[in-house]
A = this chain, B = another copy of it.
Amino acid sequence: MSTKFRAAIIGSTGYGGVELIRLLLSHPNVEITSVISSSSAGTPIADGYPHLNQIMLDKLDGIDIDEIKQKSDVVFIAAPHGVAIELAPKLLDAGLKVIDISGDFRLKSGEVYEQWYKHKAADPTYVEKAVYGLSEVFADEVKGTEFVSNPGCFPTATLLGLVPLVSKGWADLSSIIIDSKSGVSGAGRGLSLTSHYSEINENFLAYKVNKHQHTPEIEQVLSRVAGEEVVVTFTTHLVPMTRGILSTMYVNLKGKHTEDEIIEMFQQYYEGRRFVRIRSKGKWPATKEVWGSNYCDIGISLDERTGRLTVISVIDNVVKGAAGQAVQNLNLMMGWDEGAGLAFTPVYP
């Protein structure tokens, strides 16, 4: 009989769910005991994902709180927003640990949630309990919690590039502009014209300009770190590739700092955090350099002509931007090595 920690995954047929399966299958302390999908319950998961043939023979389970409680210690919710609002409280009440990958519990204000998500907000009691799992920034809060709300993909890439500056008080808070670019997998497996191959291949476009629901999430964290309200300009673009996010961030500095100083400050901020890598002077990261891995790589450029700072950060949206950070948060919750099950090299080329 296994003594591993038992994980259930709700939303196993989405890209976030199937990536959780990939990561947890090689996690030394965890075993997957239930893959759950309300839409495909009863069929083998490999039917919809043939890459799992002979790797995962399990049939998909339906959603049954009692059964989940019997079979698992932690539940990952990798479902579209709105689902966790219903399920997370029940799972928590059943004594399970919960890591929610959706946006349902990220925003502390229900009003703000409803405005940006166009959906009824979650019960505030549970929103209060949720720890925002930006692992490198809020590790101390994640340790020992029962309930993690995993950050969005854009906020992860963006905040890791901005928090040191804001935390240190170096940023002119009224000047922050974030120009983000994402691969198509961020939109999930649901069919839509904006994920249709012939429309997106050899194409580049902006979408949800000034309207993306990750805007208040970024602002909430920056405001908390700054100790005052921060408003940002945030634009998202779609890149004709499957995985990867790159955020280009523009910040006016309040005081005088050299590029070297800023790079060093970033390195100190992330000292000991293996998954954030700061590039040396004159080098900027590419999304492919973190492909399939949990790294966030950051490069910095100070324009002496304008005094404006450009910060560039990259992640794999499916890993560090979703499933990988969720596993990292589980590791933190459990007091395991932060990199357990995540210590693999990016796939290159």
Query: Chain A residues in contact with chain B, CB under 8 A?
Result: 15, 18, 21-22, 25-26, 49-55, 177, 179, 181, 183-185, 187, 189, 191-193, 195-207, 209-210, 231-233, 235, 237, 239-244, 246, 248, 250, 274, 277, 279, 283-293, 297, 299, 301-303, 305-306, 308, 310, 312, 314, 343-349
Distance between Cα atoms of A15 and B200 in the complex (Å):
14
Q: Assuming A52-B345, A197-B200, is B284 touching A207 (CB within 8 A)? A: yes
Contact of A291 with B202 in the complex, beta carbons under 8 Å: yes
Min CB gap A284→B, angstroms: 5
Residues of B within 8 A of A49 (CB): 348
Alpha-carbon separation in the docked complex, A274 to B54 (Å)? 8
For A203, list chain B residues within 8 Å (CB): 241, 244, 286-288
Complex interface: chain B residues within 8 A of A206 (CB) = 246, 248, 284, 299, 312
Asked if B197 contacts A345 (CB within 8 A), the reply is no
- Bound CA–CA A334/B348 (angstroms): 27
Nearest chain B CB to A304 CB, angstrom units: 8
Q: Which residues of B contact A231 (CB under 8 A)?
A: 305-306
The answer to whether B244 touches A202 (Cβ under 8 A) is: yes
Contact of A209 among B181, B284, B293 (CB under 8 A): B284
Contacts of A185 in B (CB 8 A): 198, 349
Residue contact B53 to A239, C-beta cutoff 8 Å: no
Residue numbers in B under 8 Å from A301 (CB-CB): 209-210
Which B residues lie within 8 Å of A241 (CB)? Answer: 201-204, 240
In the bound complex, residues from chain B placing their C-beta under 8 Å from that of A285 are 50, 205
Among candidates B187, B193, B204, B233, residue contacting A181 with C-beta atoms closer than 8 Å: B204
Question: With a CB–CB cut-off of 8 A, which chain B residues contact A204?
Answer: 181, 183, 239, 241, 244, 246, 286-288, 314
Q: Which residues of B contact A305 (CB under 8 A)?
A: 210, 231
**A58 CB, nearest partner CB in chain B, Å:** 14
Complex CA–CA separation, A250 to B249 (angstroms): 12
Which residues of B sit under 8 angstroms from A240, Cβ to Cβ? 197, 201, 239-241
Contact check, B195 vs A196: say whether CB atoms are below 8 A apart.
Answer: yes
B54, B199, B200, B310: which contacts A233 (Cβ < 8 A)?
B310
Name 14 extra pairs, CB < 8 A, besides A51-B293, A53-B297, A54-B274.
A15-B198, A22-B345, A26-B344, A51-B348, A177-B250, A195-B197, A202-B241, A202-B243, A205-B286, A231-B305, A231-B306, A233-B310, A239-B239, A240-B241
